[in-house]
Structure 1
């Protein structure tokens, strides 16, 4: 199959910790704007735990957990289906008896896909279960490997995505002030080491009460920065991935 350019909208979101209604409204509004803009978007990517905010104490509240097919996401699915767009959101997700920090893939045309965080750290280990490796999805003919934050620290995770056919490695993350260089170098390395695009959606604002590192954007397979957020608050970075660079 001959690939066309893949238009990716990277959302550096600023969720309100624990305010699901506000976060869902904000997600729906942004998705609607992005699919109807002049650029359009084949893939829209939100950061880690974008629907709840990264506050692990919120996991004690049953209302903050999502499941595949969760009706609260129907509006996003409807928009995605109408415009042929794939939307990746971050949430605490239950799959049967298993609890994960995950990216949920919404298209409205197929069942939701859950890409669970494989590499946990800190308190996450006591609250959720790890995933079993990268999930690779198909978007407009492209194979897209999904990662959640700490997964990006492990070259083997990206390598597994590559072995499963990924041409882009898309990470939903949380990096705060002081970690800017770590974020930049890590995502450039994942691109160069495995010959694929890397895309990063970071939480903006003040996650965990600390200033965001910003840095949402994308790198080419040679590590060149294709696009990056100008600031550290809510922002959308739109980038076109050119298959000629693979």
Structure 2
């Protein structure tokens, strides 16, 4: 794996990590709620907002299984999405001059169904930006995994895209860093009882790769799909700059600093020092 590009952003970037409770199956209503949250983030100065995994449908497998036609958004061959239910969200992006990353169930022209992050740009255009590669448990019964990573470019910042379980794999964050990512955006759906892992994985991905991590999560719902909030932004040393409560709606707005990114990477040069591999064989020892 080659070292990442040395170029760093020239200016800070203000981001928003969102936690909120969507309504199962109500794509239009959840898009309207997202538009309200995006406007709130833009009013606070954010240039990009990250909302939870499957926010447009809610992470509710029974609903996703019962009504795929009603819960999916359809992507064209070029991955563009034209769905009138998303009009309020596009309008909020245009009005606020803000980019949006939001979770959705996406149907592709070849029939594949993926857990994806939609990217809404500042012109209101919607694309299926990234398809989740690491599916968790019963997700495999409803969806197929994505086959490639993705990097979003915003104001000179390179932002790797992951979704929930992707971030549990060090290799996924490292692949983003190897592509030159300065940050890693992870819409997620962590349930009550998983707080320890929620708080550990994404801070670790930040430190592993000396990059910022923006983690969004749902709240509310009913067991076994009751979510625990804790949206957060971590700095390149894995320190938490902001964290939401375990309950309630929040929009966390944090400014990412290229000077801190540069200083961290100068002091902690893991990305440059890592070996191309750990050797062709391992030595077995007897104790």
Indicate the TM-score class for this superposition, using the shorter chain for normalisation. over 0.9
Of structures 1 and 2, the larger Rg is shown by 2
Contact persistence 2:59–2:225 (CA under 8 A) = no
Deviation at 1:209, TM superposition (A): 4.3
Q: 1:112 to 1:211 in 2, by over 3 A?
A: closer
Q: For residues 28-39 of structure 1, what are the structure 2 equivalents within 5 Å?
A: 28-35=35-42, 37=43, 39=44
Q: Separation in 2 of the partners of 1:63 and 1:211?
A: 22
- After TM superposition, the structure 1 stretch with the greater mean CA deviation from structure 2, 189-198 or 106-115, is 106-115
Q: For residues 136-151 of structure 1, what are the structure 2 equivalents within 5 Å?
A: 136-151=151-166
Q: 1:118 to 1:227 in 2, by over 3 A?
A: same
Q: Residue 214 of structure 2 aligns with which residue? A: 199
2:150 to 128, 135, 147: 135
Q: Separation in 1 of the partners of 2:222 and 2:30?
A: 14
Task: Please list every run of 5 or more consecutive structure 2 residues that lacks an aligned counterpart in the other structure.
Answer: 1-7, 75-80, 262-287
Q: For residues 109-128 of structure 1, what are the structure 2 equivalents within 5 Å?
A: 109=123, 110=125, 112-128=127-143
Contact persistence 1:44–1:86 (CA under 8 A) = yes
TM-score by length of 2: 0.80
Q: Runs ≥4 in structure 1, deviation > 6 angstroms?
A: none
TM-score by length of 1: 0.92
Task: Please list every run of 5 or more consecutive structure 1 residues that lacks an aligned counterpart in the other structure.
Answer: none
RMSD in angstroms over aligned alpha carbons?
1.7
Q: Residue 89 of structure 1 aligns with which residue? A: 102
SS of 2:73 mapped into structure 1: coil
Q: For residues 1-246 of structure 1, what are the structure 2 equivalents within 5 Å?
A: 2-35=9-42, 37=43, 39-59=44-64, 60-61=66-67, 62-67=69-74, 68-97=81-110, 98-109=112-123, 110=125, 112-206=127-221, 208-246=223-261
SS of 1:128 mapped into structure 2: coil
